[in-house]
Amino acid sequence: MIGWAARQIARYLDLTEERATRLLWRVVATLSALGFVLVGTAILAFEPIFFGQEEADGFQVGRIIQQDVFAPESVSFTSAVLTEQRRQQAVEDVRPIFNTPDPSVARQQIEQARRILDFIGNIRADPYSTQERKISDAEQITTLNLPPVTLVQLFEIDDSTWQDIDSEILAILERVMRDEIKSADLSRIRSQLPTQVSVRFNDPREIDVVVSVVSDLLRANTTENVEATEQARQEALAAVSEETRSFEAGQLIIASGSRISQADYEVLEQIGLLRTEERQTQAIIRALLASVIALVIMGLYVARFRPGLLRDEPALLALLVGLFMVTLAGARLGMSGEMYLYPAAALGLLYVAVVGAEIAMIGMIGLAFLIGIMVGGDLEMIVFVAVGGIMGILNLRHPERLNSFFIAGLVVAVGNVAVVSLFNFNPAEAGQANELPLLVVFGVMNGILTAATAVAALYVITMAFNLPTALKLVELSQPNQPLLQRLLREAPGSYQHSLQVSNLCEQAANAIGANAELVRVAALYHDIGKMLNPVFFTENQTEGSNPHDTLNDPYRSADIIIGHVTEGDELARQYRLPQRIRDFIREHHGTSQVYVFYQQAIIMAGEDENEVDIAEFTYPGPRPRSRETGIMLLADGCEAAIRARQPKSKADIQETLHQVIDGRRKTGELNDSGLTLGDLNRIEAIFLEILQAIYHPRIDYSEAVARVRGQVNAANAAREEAARADSLPAAVNDAPAVDESPEPRPTTSKPPVKSTAPTPPAPMRPVRDDDADADSAPLAEVPRLRKADDKSPKPDAEADETADDAPEDSGQDDEQSDDKS
């Protein structure tokens, strides 16, 4: 998509495609930054923008405010709320005014009491009435509301006791009704009646009868004087002065965590904090500034530590911004529920899998900052998000493994529990102490949700955007991938070359801190374009067969060689390889030249360089634009050069590597890669170590075999000569045999002492094809070795032979072992 757009821009603006691509990338990066600011501002100031300012800032009576509120300017005003509260208090403080007690009420109640008591006495005195009938007659007294138990007691006591109860009821009623009795006081007076009963009544049943009858006969003997009371209240209201409130600029109005009262709301309204237009503007500006601050900090960090992300990977940058915004929007929705359950740390795990830990760290810090601004500057929530996310990032070391995500989730849970314990563990406050176990559970659940969310989201974005995530790279590195299988069948030499380059790239990337997994997998696919014309590439040719000689057209040959880059990119597109992998295919030769065919074209043009257009022998590029593609360019060139030259020593390998790497540097192929001179030195050292192990010199076993054969032949000749000398007849003369005969040979002989000086190694020479079967050549006759229990003396020649051969055999064994290893 970006390539097509770049070509259109290049055509309409008359630019090169490379410049058009860079221009387009700058546009995409700028739009991503602008989108970050606008969307971030909209999320942070969502409620002020869409639902009005009062609800947005939480300025509602009865709600707990999440931030300190200060007076923006000095103000003084008359508080209608406080004035009204004082007026109401003044009215409540005026006690109702009552008229003087009415004596007629007391007389009336006493007369009624006498009639009731006489009626009860008559019922008691009826000899013909049953107990049930007496109780039924007593229930007809409407003034009294005696419970059944009390009615039974009325007719069970004796006459003498009844006379005492009758007198006590009248006495208590008269005594109580003498005082002022208000309607509001009846309940209190009735509750005190048991204390009015005479001490001569010690039976609870008798006391209950007295109290029950008096309670029903008590009446209020005074009434409220409404006019006088109202007049007093009006006088109290008139005496209340208006309440004035004053605030200095910067003075605290409402502390964070306080519940907003009606008086607080009035203050906010009077100083202008509830004016919708101004408050909306203030909230939007605050959100805008927070978004800009986060963008600048994260942008500077990325420009310092991953400049290629801003310069060369606009699609990936846009995806990272999108993931950030989605996570921030989810936090906004999570504010309506339990924020401790929201898996914000999943963003950090996703960033690690997509782009690496260094970007994940700054992304997580930026997210924690904006979430903290969104919830009103709550320090606990900022630390909760930041600590959980950073701990998860630091522990996700192998994002290509699913279990690593869940291990990281457990670590996030530990961090969450630590943070909530830090901010909420306070045994002195029972409310927080009781809340802590629930927050711990939320923290653990958050870690589990973080791991599950990260895995699910990683799978979705990998499939949707075809990104080279860790999981995708593991999949692409499998040898059974269709494209790799085709490369192995159709261009086996190129396949083996790709394996070697892959190993070199991985080790070099590890040495300089680049993305080793990405460059290792990309190296497997960098030469897939050679499948279309495999025999035109040296690694796929048989000995003595070079189709370029038959073709005898340097232009056509160069076109075929250069075409493996563009054709490989097209194959990668057909097989839906990630765009990042396709970058390696396009950039692994940069803008270098097919020099051999260029020189051939010059020769065919009569040594006139002006007749040859070097552009026809130049790879289309672009040059490597990341450290990883720069490593690929160097590994590909070094491996091919070493394989072609077949160096005989470490010095030869080192010289070849230095020529290739220094040549790429001097021609400017690495100018855009971000590789430093220190990186190049480390890469060269790693390449030397690996390639030396692969292309070390081989031992020429044919010379060793010839040397052993000569030693054996010499030993056999010496033995035959000694045998002929022993078979000659002894000379006969007159001299005693003991005096004339030669000195006899000793029956035993000591072997010659070996020299302690090391045997110089055999001279090395290149292995020839006719030496391939030298090891299988028949050896000359070798003397039989003695058995371990053979005590017979060994001939001198044989001893000498053994002494001479021992170091040679040992050296040969070592060489064979080295070759096998």
Q: Would you say residue 779 has pLDDT above 90? A: no
- pLDDT band at 2; cut points 50, 70, 90: low
Burial class (CB in 10 A: 0-12, 13-18, 19+), 160: exposed
pLDDT of 813 > 50? The answer is no
Evaluate whether 327 touches 36 at the Cβ level (below 8 Å).
no
461-489 pLDDT, tens per residue?
A: 888 888 888 888 989 999 999 999 999 99
- The reported pLDDT for the residue numbered 404 is 92
pLDDT tens per residue, range 11-47: 777 777 667 777 777 787 788 889 899 999 888 887 6
Q: How many CB atoms lie within 10 A of CB 720?
A: 11
Q: How far is CA 520 from each of CA 73, 117, 399, 515, 525, rounded to the nearest angstrom?
A: 64, 114, 16, 9, 10
Q: Which of 150-159, 450-459, 651-660 is the least confident region?
A: 150-159
Segment 404-428 shows an average pLDDT of 89
Global pTM?
0.57
Which pLDDT does position 427 carry in this prediction?
64
Residue 250 pLDDT > 80: no
CB 214, CB 136: distance < 8 Å: no
Q: Are residues 399 and 318 in the same domain?
A: yes
Please report the pLDDT score of residue 398 as a whole number. Answer: 86
Quote the percentage of the chain above a pLDDT of 90: 34
Give the integer Cα–Cα distance in Å for 55 and 61. Answer: 11
Q: Are residues 524 and 434 in the same domain?
A: no
- Lowest-confidence pick of 168-182, 280-294, 739-753: 739-753
Round to whole Å and give the CA distance between 412 and 446.
8
Give the model confidence (pLDDT) of 358-380 as tens digits.
999 999 999 999 999 888 778 88
pLDDT tens digit sequence for 386-396: 999 999 999 99
Structure tokens at 608: 């006139």
Per-residue confidence (pLDDT) for residue 48, from 0 to 100? 64
499 plus 620 within the same structural domain: yes
Number of domains into which the chain is organized:
4
Considering the chain, what percentage of its residues have pLDDT values greater than 70?
A: 82
Supply the pLDDT for residue 135: 82
Looking at the fold, whether 605 and 672 belong to one and the same domain comes out as: yes
**pLDDT value for 767:** 38
Q: Which of 430, 451, 470 is the last residue of a domain?
A: 470
Same domain, 439 and 495: no
Confidence of residue 336 (pLDDT cuts 50, 70, 90): low
pLDDT digits (tens, 9 = 90+) for 36-84: 999 998 888 876 666 554 444 557 777 777 777 887 767 788 888 888 8
> At CB < 8 A and 24+ separation, what contacts does 716-724 make?
716/780, 716/781, 716/783, 718/797, 719/783, 719/795, 719/797, 719/798, 722/795, 722/797
Evaluate whether residue 110 is within a structural domain.
yes
Whether 247 is in a domain gets the answer no
- Cα separation, 598 vs 602, in Å, equals 6
The H or E element spanning position 79 is strand 75-79
For residue 370, give the nearest of 410, 397, 330 by alpha carbon. 330
pLDDT at 658: 94
Closest CA to 268 of 506, 79, 20, 119: 79
Confidence (pLDDT) at 272: 65
- Based on the fold, state whether residues 28 and 132 are members of the same structural domain: no
Q: Give the lowest-confidence range in 251-255, 315-319, 803-807.
A: 803-807
User: What's the domain range around 799?
Assistant: 702-718+763-784+792-821
Residue 743: pLDDT band by 50, 70, 90 thresholds? Answer: very low
In the Cβ-directed half-sphere of 671, how many Cα atoms lie within 13 Å?
7
Residue 62 lies in a domain: no
Let me know whether 508 and 649 are in one domain: yes
Res 648 pLDDT > 80: yes
Task: Specify the higher pLDDT residue, 638 or 397.
Answer: 638
Residue 750, pLDDT score:
42
pLDDT at 247 over 70: yes
Tokens 């004016």 -> residue: 275
In a domain, 313, yes or no: yes
Q: What does the pLDDT read at residue 701? A: 66
Q: How confident is the model at residue 1 (pLDDT cuts 50, 70, 90)?
A: low
Please indicate whether residue 685 or residue 465 has the higher confidence score (pLDDT): 685
How does residue 176 score in pLDDT terms, banded at 50, 70 and 90?
confident
Residue 635 within a domain: yes
Same domain (yes/no): 499, 414: no
Same domain membership, residue 708 and residue 681: no
- Binned at pLDDT 50, 70 and 90, residue 764 comes out as very low
Give me the pLDDT at residue 769, please.
Answer: 39
Is residue 582 very low, low, confident or very high in pLDDT (cuts 50, 70, 90)?
very high
For residue 676, the model assigns a pLDDT of: 93
Query: Domain boundary residue among 470, 502, 529?
Result: 470
pLDDT confidence of residue 73: 67
The CATH number assigned to the domain holding 484 equals: 1.10.3210
More confident residue, 662 or 91: 662
- Please check whether residue 371 is in contact with residue 344, taking contact to mean a CB–CB distance below 8 angstroms: yes
Same domain, 409 and 491: no
pLDDT tops 70 at residue 629:
yes
Residue at 388 is within a domain: yes
Please report the pLDDT score of residue 776 as a whole number. Answer: 36
659 in a structural domain: yes
Domain closes at, from 170, 186, 217: 217
Confidence class for position 294, pLDDT limits 50, 70, 90: very high
pLDDT of residue 275: 56
User: pLDDT band for position 509 (50/70/90)?
Assistant: very high
User: What is d(CA 104, CA 111) in angstroms, rounded to the nearest whole number?
Assistant: 10
Predicted confidence at residue 18, as pLDDT, reads 67
Who wins on pLDDT, 638 or 122? 638
Q: Say if 225 falls within a structural domain.
A: no
* List of long-range contacts for 227-235, beta carbons under 8 Å, 24+ apart: 228/97, 229/94, 229/96, 229/97, 232/94, 232/97, 233/90, 233/91, 233/94
**Average confidence score pLDDT of the chain:** 81
- 667 and 545 assigned to the same domain: yes
Token couple for 686: 């790693």
Domain identity same for 496 and 521: yes
Of 188 and 739, more confident: 188
> What is the rounded average pLDDT of the residues 113-139?
84
Q: Average of pLDDT values for 134-138?
A: 83
